[in-house]
Structure 1
């Protein structure tokens, strides 16, 4: 029993891979995940679990940079990032610290301005006036801001229930970064409107009354924040926090947001409720009731409470005394870093950290559903023609079914396995990916021809020993060609070059499947068919 398995394990491995691809392609468990309000039939595209990108399903693609400028190689001169942000913002008219950010990683220090009204010359002048030396100023924002923008845009797409929508960062040949947003099945106006839409984010106060829990709404709204920091883990503890600063300047003679928030906190009795570190907010998001008599701060996004907070005794005391409004800074503390990141994103929800330049340097394109269906049909026809063309050339070359048929079947198994991987990874199929599949068919059959020619080049194969010797010589050639292909395609896969990445990924994946699985399996098949003993 074990002897046949040992001799034919490569063929068995190919069979297992094909069966695995079948499960990934057709099993409901691997189908597209549904979003709220969407049923499974709407999410599923056809009888397989394959997902299609814009080229094959229709939809809108928007490619636009985030507006802003970044100073690189900045010398902070011993100042903290917050001090740097405030100093640079002070030198820019009508620009708050919220629109100035810093990025520190190892020895790299950068300062950015995300106010679209600030020019490069104005930013340079502000950096010089604040006394911070820098190496250069480039268009664009810091990696931290790009990552945050990507997360917020993806959140918008998910909240809108747009199945298959995605956002990624791509880099042009000049080094400029762009946000690439793809939403299948949606028109340009709807997608642009979604990207520019501003959500409703506010902080409310829930407090106990004789009739139950009451809520004082919108004690802070999104425009009241001067600065919203990123999630940070507190050293030596498991706690994380998001630092925020509320504006302490009044407009049109009204009370400043910081003073108004301070007064609301004092009126609702936070100082008497939070006197020790053990005092906690016990707000129940499901019932909307407070479990004890302590008031709570509620973070609300589009009318839904997403987080609730108590208050540090020192902060509550400073608000009760009226001192806090001078600075307007406090921290929203959570028990874990993931929650803190969510809070930071929620506070920025609906408002990107920098403006997307959709109408300027940005580009957008829309493919109708009819066009996508046509592209899908053309891709299928092209694939079938490629298979028949390859099959015809193989039969003309060998005129021997024992050699040609296994070659065709093995090549098709390779493509089938790639489709299974695409379904398993939920990778959307684009025209570039289809081109990668066709390239895999060509390179795969080339390798199989090399094997067949080498094995049959010196006449009849008398024994397994002779076959193995000839096969090893052919496999060294195939391995060297595969390594060359992988090296050549790797830059396209690593660099953010949009559709070219998909072409490179599936070409490399096809080469690896061929070298590790299908070529050895084809060798075992030929050995069984051609050897005499």
Structure 2
């Protein structure tokens, strides 16, 4: 019997199948997040799990190919002040910078993410700032697109994906799609989630800040202490240790801790017991604390919590020791608000708001999705039985047909392991890809068997010669398949993309792992390791 070294391809296949079994069935053995409720670690998409798909544009407009001779931050500040919108609703991108990807754009791009601003107003402000086109001409409304830039859409999809992942939503995806008229959309899929819950998640910009409110200059002043950029880690919500309500513990970055400490000391928050002067139920518009100091948890501009500070922590800040271990917490009225704060901190704020008034919603009931799942399973079983029967009829020899079918099925097992470890949400398109992989895999194995067994094999040298000849044929066929499927895998073409990805992965696994392993098995069968 040949030693393990001569059959290393079979050993490699067995090891990979063992690893696939582990990531498929052992809890918490995958790299992907998300809650897994079934017997395996596989995640399912909308078509196999039910849920909601929302397609919506992004609110805003963009002026491109601009010649901006000033600092980007100055432009953002001036444009936001002139238009009367928050600075978060204005973005400036320098497409000439090496670290900025503007794709086909040139010069600068100025974007405004606020539906109260008209193109005429944006043009007037740009002209007032002395901003012209890169060709030296004046900016007009013809140069303003009634849509944010492609880069903003890409960042929106990435941010929403982070928000979906932070919620532990299994199989949730966010992508960018385009209509025939050029209008772009963000497409969000959320299995096992009702439309109202998904809209609530997407309707929040996700801007979380901790601010301090204090009396000064005859009126109440407010200053931001820390936002998501100043937070290093965030812990799960817990019940407040000081009383009712909930809190979200965080650890600040070194820079965030120093800023937090310096501002509180500068405004007098930590002196004269001011840290205990915030009344209960205080809000941004409350008049009950005109003479008091408050720390505010602010989410998307709305105060979700107002509170005082423990005396020991105030002493630590006053002695400038807080920055050595900058830990604090955001407060919330209930557990749901606290979890939303945690999600927004972990995912970060969306670059722009979504125009959910223009959304298109598709909902699939869980019962119908279960029916799709059952039908897909039945189809896969029928395909396997049909392939097995055909192969057996072709060779009338179970010792040849059985390894062929098992090898083809091992490709599916490896693909399922890959889908499990990366958290790929399976849909009907992926199931179709699995069935196609079984068919093409068996085709290649038949080519190998027919070439090798055309005549009697007298030695391993003869076997290797015939196997290499057959492998060149299936290698060329695999290359053709990959080239043909690559555009479908790259472009945003809906279900065709999932089918193409699974097919390409199946072909690669077959050429690199399973076909060579089958060659070793066939060699042992026909040569007896002669």
Q: TM-score, normalised by structure 1?
A: 0.70
Q: Structure 1 residues 477 and 158 mapped into 2: Cα distance closer, same or farther (>3 Å)? A: closer
Instruction: Give the drift of 1:147.
Output: 5.8
Q: Structure 1 residues 505 and 167 mapped into 2: Cα distance closer, same or farther (>3 Å)? A: same
Instruction: Give the drift of 1:511.
Output: 1.0
Task: Please list the CA deviations of residues 131-165 of structure 1 after superposition, one character each: whole Å capped at 9, or x if unmatched.
Answer: 32347544433466446544654565466x45316
Q: Structure 1 residues 87 and 205 mapped into 2: Cα distance closer, same or farther (>3 Å)? A: closer
Give 1:444-523 correspondences, 5 Å limit: 444-457=441-454, 459-523=455-519
Give 1:137-176 correspondences, 5 Å limit: 137-142=144-149, 145-146=152-153, 149-150=156-157, 153-154=160-161, 156-157=163-164, 161=167, 163-164=169-170, 166-172=172-178
| CA–CA distance in structure 2, aligned partners of residues 286 and 454 of structure 1 | 81
Aligned 8 A contact 1:69 1:123 in 2: no
Q: Secondary structure of 1:30's partner?
A: coil
Q: Is 1:67 aligned with 2:59? A: yes
Consecutive unaligned residues in structure 2, runs of 5 or more: 98-105, 135-142, 215-219, 231-252, 272-307, 335-340
Q: Which residue of 1 aligns with 2:9?
A: 10
Q: Structure 1 residues 83 and 421 mapped into 2: Cα distance closer, same or farther (>3 Å)? A: same
Q: Is 1:442 aligned with 2:445? A: no
The two structures, once aligned, show a CA RMSD in angstroms of 4.4
21, 24, 40: which one aligns with 1:48: 40
Q: Which residue of 2 aligns with 1:82?
A: 73
Q: Which residue of 2 aligns with 1:180?
A: 187
Q: Secondary structure of 1:413's partner?
A: helix
Q: Is 1:430 aligned with 2:422? A: no
Q: TM-score, normalised by structure 2?
A: 0.70
| CA–CA distance in structure 1, aligned partners of residues 364 and 110 of structure 2 | 39
Instruction: Give the drift of 1:32.
Output: 9.0
Q: Which residue of 2 aligns with 1:358?
A: 356
Q: Structure 1 residues 31 and 516 mapped into 2: Cα distance closer, same or farther (>3 Å)? A: closer
Q: Structure 1 residues 196 and 111 mapped into 2: Cα distance closer, same or farther (>3 Å)? A: same
Task: Please list the CA deviations of residues 282-305 of structure 1 after superposition, one character each: whole Å capped at 9, or x if unmatched.
Answer: xx999982343529998847469x
| Paired positions, count | 439
| CA–CA distance in structure 2, aligned partners of residues 206 and 96 of structure 1 | 19
| CA–CA distance in structure 2, aligned partners of residues 187 and 137 of structure 1 | 36
Give 1:178-327 correspondences, 5 Å limit: 178-197=185-204, 201-205=208-212, 220=222, 266-268=267-269, 289-292=313-316, 294=318, 300=330, 302=332
| CA–CA distance in structure 1, aligned partners of residues 269 and 463 of structure 2 | 87
Q: Is 1:113 aligned with 2:112? A: yes
Q: Structure 1 residues 31 and 45 mapped into 2: Cα distance closer, same or farther (>3 Å)? A: farther
Aligned 8 A contact 2:33 2:170 in 1: no
Aligned 8 A contact 1:17 1:417 in 2: yes
Task: Please list the CA deviations of residues 478-522 of structure 1 after superposition, one character each: whole Å capped at 9, or x if unmatched.
Answer: 111212222222333334445444333222211111001110111
Q: Structure 1 residues 220 and 503 mapped into 2: Cα distance closer, same or farther (>3 Å)? A: farther
Q: Secondary structure of 2:458's partner?
A: coil
Give 1:336-355 correspondences, 5 Å limit: 346=345, 352-355=350-353
| CA–CA distance in structure 1, aligned partners of residues 22 and 311 of structure 2 | 43
Instruction: Give the drift of 1:346.
Output: 4.4
Q: Which residue of 2 aligns with 1:26?
A: 25
Task: Please list the CA deviations of residues 256-276 of structure 1 after superposition, one character each: whole Å capped at 9, or x if unmatched.
Answer: xxxxxx999645378xxxxxx
Instruction: Give the drift of 1:194.
Output: 2.5
Task: Please list the CA deviations of residues 190-248 of structure 1 after superposition, one character each: whole Å capped at 9, or x if unmatched.
Answer: 211232247784534499xxxxxxxxxx96489x99xx9988xxxxxx97679x9xxxx
Q: Is 1:418 aligned with 2:415? A: yes
| CA–CA distance in structure 1, aligned partners of residues 87 and 211 of structure 2 | 24
Q: Secondary structure of 2:377's partner?
A: helix
Q: Structure 1 residues 158 and 475 mapped into 2: Cα distance closer, same or farther (>3 Å)? A: closer
Which sits farther off after the overlay, 485-494 or 513-522? 485-494
